[in-house]
Copies of this chain bind each other. A is one copy, B any other.
Amino acid sequence: MPLFRDGKRILRRSGYVVATLARQLAVKSRLVAVFTGAVLGLIAGAGSLSQASAQGDPLPSWNDTAAKRTIIEFVDRTTTSGGPDFVPPAERIATFDNDGTLWCEQPVYFQLAFAIDQVKALAPKHPEWKTQQPFKALLEKDMKGVGAAGKTGLLQIMAATHTGMTTDEFSRSVRDWLATAKHPRFNRPFDSLVYQPMLELLAYLRANGFKTFIVSGGGIEFMRPWMEKTYGIPPEQVVGSSGVVKFQTGADGKPELIKLAKMEFVDDGPGKPVGINRFIGRRPILAFGNSDGDLQMLQWTVAGRGARLAALLHHTDAEREYAYDRQSKIGKLDKALDEATARGWTVVDMKRDWKAVFPEK
């Protein structure tokens, strides 16, 4: 059975069901209102950030806790020429999950927020949606109706917004969306809701000869159009889930690549070491995630010889961001948290370890 691109990942990863759609749309209509406190806290945090930065601290948005010390000590050890844990630059591979690790993933994966907005944007070209579920319900903000369409409905939404177009057209739609859409709670562009401490960590690693990669369950074509600008990570260092793409000659006689409604690869859970092997061909020495979907990537990373660092971001900060773990439908952190505790992996506690969460506006 062919599976619609990207839809499968979202379903599989979180057990996410259509009820959440309703919540997000509802939250969206409320907009800014509630969280002025959080924004103020953020600005205060950003202030202290600039100060520390001036003093040459490579991770100014990190509090001086064990997590920060572990990271710096690991980088020192692996880059000290002649030391017992030295790693040649070519082998300094660092892999990062994206959703919930580098950017926010609540109240729904941002890729799903994109899909919902795309249905609205594409509606004028699809008059048939006025009478066809789940599109009719979504366009009429009838959340019961969307819910009634269940998983099949969600897959239809993903297929309608992610396939049947060229790769270039899809890239453009992602960029257009990011330029206009706003997060329902923070009222900021989605690609501004990246974690300032993680941006610093990426830059710090690269300054020390590491090559930074994304290894995410998110759609590879959804991530590549913006990650170079936002994270400094070029398309060729982005690994993600993908659908089948077909080469053909377009109506203009030029070759084109068409995105088909058939799943090709799910880069999540046990798929992450597989994706790392397929795309990178080398085992990372550092891996950073935030959910059970990252567990096998961390296991694979630490099973290599020599110095290794496995880290998880624990979302503990409902005021500045969100607090969730074992019970969450999105970004569930349960087994991986147990294993991290048992094996002494680094667990970054957002509330305790980070001075700031998002970059200044």
Contact = CB atoms under 8 A, between A and B. Distances in A.
Interface of A: 90, 93, 167, 211, 213, 220, 224, 228, 234-238, 242, 245-247, 254-255, 257, 270-271, 273-274, 277-282, 296, 299-300, 303
Nearest to A282: B235
Contacts of A224: 281
A36 B334 CA distance: 67
Nearest to A235: B281
A299 B248 CA distance: 11
Contact of A277 (B167, B234, B280): B167
Nearest to A298: B255
Which 8 A-B pairs give the minimum distances between C-beta atoms?
A: A235-B281, A247-B270, A224-B281, A236-B280, A247-B273, A254-B303, A255-B299, A255-B303
B273 A236 contact: no
20 contacts: A90-B228, A93-B236, A167-B277, A220-B278, A234-B282, A235-B281, A236-B237, A236-B279, A236-B281, A238-B281, A245-B274, A246-B270, A247-B270, A247-B273, A254-B303, A255-B300, A255-B303, A257-B273, A257-B277, A279-B279
Contacts of A238: 281
Contacts of A280: 235-236
A167 B281 CA distance: 10
Contacts of A246: 270, 274
